[in-house]
Chains A and B, each alone.
Chain A
Amino acid sequence: MTALLSLDAVSKRFRGLLAVDHVSFAVPEGTIFAVIGPNGAGKTTLFNMIAGAMTPDEGSITFAGKPIDGLPADAVCRRGIARTFQLVRPFPALSAEDNVTIGALLNRHDVGAAQQRAQELLRRLDLFDKRHRRASALTLPDRKRLEVARALATEPRLLLLDEVMAGLRPTETDRMVAILRALNRDSGLTILLIEHVMRAVMALASRVLVLNHGTAIAEGAPEEVVRDPAVVQSYLGAEAE
């Protein structure tokens, strides 16, 4: 399998703090890849560099064979990488359908066609009945799924999910896991998720990278990684002891 996304020795420094320190990994096309780690491990910084919200100080990021590091966020999205935000950011005063329609208009010029695509996605994310509600009036789980729908509407090859399970109840997490798995299975969508909820990581990811203090301390299948002594000590520590 070829890598759809690969990072080569990517670093980011904030003043004195080395937030991400020479991190390298590759996400093969069609897989679900998770990045885990304790708070402050550099996960969101890493995520922002891939999504174009930040530029790496060192190293390179390659997507579908072309370098994307340093590209602005909108150009990254047009290359085929869509993201969600850790703190959800739907367009608040617009209806759920309009939110997703805007995403669908990236690759469509006809508004009617974009609305149709938006309705398909809203149905898929269990939001069809709420499509006329304002995004600001939706519950947090609904807004999280709305962001996923809006990201999917841009027809990405890679979906970046930033703690999309955080704040969800276990049943809602299971539903999200089921939706993401179906998307991956049906359309071969590659997913990179940054996640705290181990229940979701174990259920979804075929490969996991563990970050701690900006460095990659382990990478492998989820079952292997959770048994890794370094990971247990740094991250799962308290619970495992």
Chain B
Amino acid sequence: MRAGLSAGEPRRIAILLAALLAALLAAPWVVNDYLLTVLILILYFAYTGQAWNVMMGFAGQLSLGHAIYVGLAGYVAAMLFTRLGVGPWLGLLAAIPIAAACGAIIGFLAFRFGVAGVYFAILTIAFAEFARIGFDNWGFVNASSGLFLSVKQYGHNDLWQLRGDPTMFYYVILAASALLFALCHLLMRSRVGYFWLAIREDEEAARAVGIDTFRYKMYAVMVSAAVTSFAGVFYAFFYNNLFPEQVFSISRSIEIILGPIIGGVGTLFGPILGAFVLTGLAEALSSSMSAFGLELPGATQVFYGVCLLFVVVALPDGVWPPLARRLGVTKRQR
């Protein structure tokens, strides 16, 4: 099931969360550089999956074009940094309203003109593709040659400029994921969260209890886009390069949604668990394959496909809901 609001058993949840957070905080002392990079990737997908989940898991609006918010925000921050020397945090302040406005435009067009369900999903793909082609031909942002952020050897970590070693990036994405988790937890228990669930479950019935569904769907898209924008800024400053073909690609959008689908759409732990399962196993697979001297391009994608098939067939609600029951952290229903 897609979990409702009754998260239940708060003490066990708190213990579980504390243990997870402690393990993640201690991780850089234990793991090697390679594993740290994998953990950064996992947390990146946990973050973007959680952000996407606000729209799909809470409000039931399927976006297959979330790469547009990542890409836009990345470009805004990278342009400000390379051209004007504006740091990433101020860049984020500029990127948030731009991403939210982009979400608002897509949402307005869809919800005002009754574009819903799969048609809405197609519209989100279309906008991401517009952005990809547009940026690919836009000289101002270096078109298809991409943007590069200067990489100098820094003697120390500069958190303000987001220049430093992977450990710093790891803690940044960990803090962001934790904050987003807390925000989603609050949203889920708020009036808006309840209204989103009502819309997800049955839009006409939601209207019948007085919910202005247009307004609340707009909130969902805008909040989701706004929080996703941080991932774009992080991406730009971590990888130090941006290419339209890469950041706006539909495969980026799909990668964002695989984690929450495998972990459990509409749950708070689903996107985190999904990111660990998917990215963790995919990395394990590719590193063990290269250890045996096997180079199979596309093996990761095949692996994603197999995971998705398995979850859809065997655990249609994702991995988290049955696991949560096993751990005794959900209120018994039925």
B114 to chain A, nearest CB (A): 12
Complex interface: chain B residues within 8 A of A13 (CB): none
Tell me the residues in window 103-153 of chain A with beta carbons closer than 8 Å to chain B beta carbons: 103, 105-106, 109, 111, 114, 132-134, 137, 150-151, 153
Interface stretch (choices A15-23, A90-98, A167-175, A226-234): A90-98
A72: CB under 8 A from chain B? yes
Closest B residue by C-beta to A137:
B334
Q: Quick one: CB contact mask for A20-63 with B, threshold 8 Å, 1 for yes? A: 00000000000000000000000000000001010000000000
A102: CB under 8 A from chain B? yes
Tell me the residues in window 197-213 of chain B with beta carbons closer than 8 Å to chain A beta carbons: 197-198, 201-202, 204-213
Given contacts A73-B208, A74-B207, A98-B5, contact A137 B201 (CB under 8 A): no
B209 to chain A, nearest CB (A): 5
Query: Number of residues in B with C-beta < 8 Å to the partner?
Result: 28
B194: CB under 8 A from chain A? yes
Q: Are B5 and A94 in contact (CB under 8 A)?
A: yes
Q: Are B201 and A111 in contact (CB under 8 A)?
A: no
B75: CB under 8 A from chain A? no
Q: Are B209 and A94 in contact (CB under 8 A)?
A: no
Q: Are B333 and A132 in contact (CB under 8 A)?
A: yes
Cα separation A89 to B206 with both chains bound (whole Å): 10
A-B contact count (CB 8 A): 96
A108 to chain B, nearest CB (A): 8
A163 to chain B, nearest CB (A): 15
Q: Quick one: CB contact mask for B1-19 with A, threshold 8 Å, 1 for yes? A: 1101110000000000000
Complex interface: chain A residues within 8 A of B2 (CB): 93
Q: Are B209 and A150 in contact (CB under 8 A)?
A: yes
Q: Are A111 and B333 in contact (CB under 8 A)?
A: no
Q: Classify the interface of chain A: helix, strand, loop or mixed.
A: mixed
Q: Are B202 and A91 in contact (CB under 8 A)?
A: yes
Closest B residue by C-beta to A94:
B4
Q: Quick one: CB contact mask for B137-164 with A, threshold 8 Å, 1 for yes? A: 0000000000000000000000000000
Complex interface: chain A residues within 8 A of B4 (CB): 93-95, 98, 134
Closest A residue by C-beta to B197:
A94
Cα separation A6 to B73 with both chains bound (whole Å): 54
Given contacts A91-B202, A93-B2, A133-B333, contact A105 B195 (CB under 8 A): yes
Given contacts A93-B1, A94-B5, A102-B209, contact A73 B198 (CB under 8 A): no
Interface stretch (choices A77-85, A194-202, A214-222): A77-85
B325: CB under 8 A from chain A? no
Query: Number of residues in A with C-beta < 8 Å to the partner?
Result: 35
Among B4, B189, B206, B210, which residue has the most Cβ atoms of chain A within 10 A?
A: B210
B190: CB under 8 A from chain A? yes
Cα separation A52 to B275 with both chains bound (whole Å): 44
Tell me the residues in window 59-105 of chain B with beta carbons closer than 8 Å to chain A beta carbons: none
Closest A residue by C-beta to B4:
A94
Q: Are A85 and B205 in contact (CB under 8 A)?
A: yes
B191: CB under 8 A from chain A? yes
Q: Are A74 and B333 in contact (CB under 8 A)?
A: no
Q: Are B1 and A134 in contact (CB under 8 A)?
A: yes
Complex interface: chain B residues within 8 A of A95 (CB): 4-6, 333
Q: Are B195 and A77 in contact (CB under 8 A)?
A: no
A190: CB under 8 A from chain B? no
A11: CB under 8 A from chain B? no
Closest B residue by C-beta to A52:
B207
B332: CB under 8 A from chain A? yes
Q: Are A77 and B333 in contact (CB under 8 A)?
A: no
Q: Are A106 and B189 in contact (CB under 8 A)?
A: no
Cα separation A228 to B206 with both chains bound (whole Å): 40
Q: Are A106 and B208 in contact (CB under 8 A)?
A: no
The 8 Å CB contact of B207, one of A77, A111, A133, is: A77
Q: Are A78 and B210 in contact (CB under 8 A)?
A: yes
Q: Are A91 and B205 in contact (CB under 8 A)?
A: yes
Q: Are B189 and A111 in contact (CB under 8 A)?
A: yes
Complex interface: chain A residues within 8 A of B201 (CB): 91-94
Complex interface: chain B residues within 8 A of A83 (CB): 208
A101: CB under 8 A from chain B? yes
Complex interface: chain B residues within 8 A of A82 (CB): 208-209
Cα separation A74 to B213 with both chains bound (whole Å): 8
A212: CB under 8 A from chain B? no
Among B2, B6, B195, which residue has the most Cβ atoms of chain A within 10 A?
A: B6
Name B's A-contacting residues (CB within 8 A).
Answer: 1-2, 4-6, 189-191, 194-195, 197-198, 201-202, 204-213, 331-334
A-B contact pairs, 20 of them (CB 8 A): A73-B208, A74-B207, A77-B208, A82-B208, A89-B205, A90-B205, A93-B4, A95-B4, A95-B333, A98-B6, A102-B194, A105-B194, A109-B191, A132-B332, A132-B333, A134-B4, A137-B333, A137-B334, A150-B209, A154-B210
Other A-B pairs beyond A91-B205, A92-B202, A137-B333, 4, CB < 8 Å: A77-B210, A91-B201, A93-B1, A132-B6
The 10 closest A-B pairs by CB, nearest first: A91-B201, A77-B210, A89-B205, A106-B210, A73-B207, A74-B207, A94-B4, A103-B209, A78-B210, A102-B198
Name A's B-contacting residues (CB within 8 A).
Answer: 51, 53, 72-74, 77-78, 82-83, 85, 89-95, 97-98, 101-103, 105-106, 109, 111, 114, 132-134, 137, 150-151, 153-154
